[in-house]
Amino acid sequence: MTDLPQAGFQPFGVADGFIGHNGPYYWRQDSAGQTEFGFQSDARHGNPNGFLHGGAVLAFLDTILGHVVVRVAQRPCATISLDSRFISTVAPGAWIGGRATIRKVTRSFAFVDAEAFASDKLLVTTTAIFRIFDS
């Protein structure tokens, strides 16, 4: 198992509720100035087949997507749609990284993409739409 957290990562600002159960999550700025997120998977993230459960990865991606939308819009938001493609898998115990990219933000909606990976192996890609609420 990897040391928690990997170099340069700091705790994600929210650690209660489901995020605390599925995480803890971490974040850092990479060398290009992009925000990278991550979490250390373990046995509770596994499925009966010995692989990382897709729901654990999707919950992570949904969380980081919402985080970047709130950071950009400066208002609360909620997921409307999350379209995911499972590319590969990994056993529990891997450090799972993630990145989110804003495609467009309007007054009421945000269109965002994200990916999750383990080392250089792409696990899941997502495209999402978030509803942005008035404060």
Instruction: Return the pLDDT at 1.
Output: 46
On whether residue 59 sits in a domain, the answer given is: yes
**Distance between CA atoms of 7 and 17, rounded to whole angstroms?**
26
Is residue 2 domain-resident? no
pLDDT of 2 strictly over 50: no
In a domain, 4, yes or no: no
Query: Please, which pLDDT band fits residue 23 given cuts at 50, 70 and 90?
Result: confident
Q: Is residue 5 part of a domain?
A: no
Cα 64 versus chain centre, distance? 4
Looking up tokens 């999350």 gives: 82
Which uninterrupted H or E stretch holds 70?
Answer: helix 54-73
The predicted-structure confidence for 53-100, as pLDDT tens digits, reads as follows 999 999 999 999 999 999 999 999 999 999 999 999 999 999 999 999
Question: How much is the pLDDT for 15?
Answer: 75
Nearest CA among 132, 84, 81, 79 for reference residue 105: 132
User: In this structure, are residues 96 and 115 in contact, taking their beta carbons and an 8 Å threshold?
Assistant: no
The number of folded domains in the chain is 1
Domain residues for the domain of 75 are 10-132
In a domain, 3, yes or no: no
Query: What's the rounded mean pLDDT across residues 20-26?
Result: 88
Say if pTM beats, i.e. exceeds, 0.75.
Answer: yes
Spatial contact of 130 and 69, defined as CB atoms under 8 Å apart: yes
Residue 1 inside a domain? The answer is no
The pLDDT tens digits for 104-116 are: 999 999 999 999 9
pLDDT, residue 12, reads 84
- CATH number, position 108: 3.10.129.10
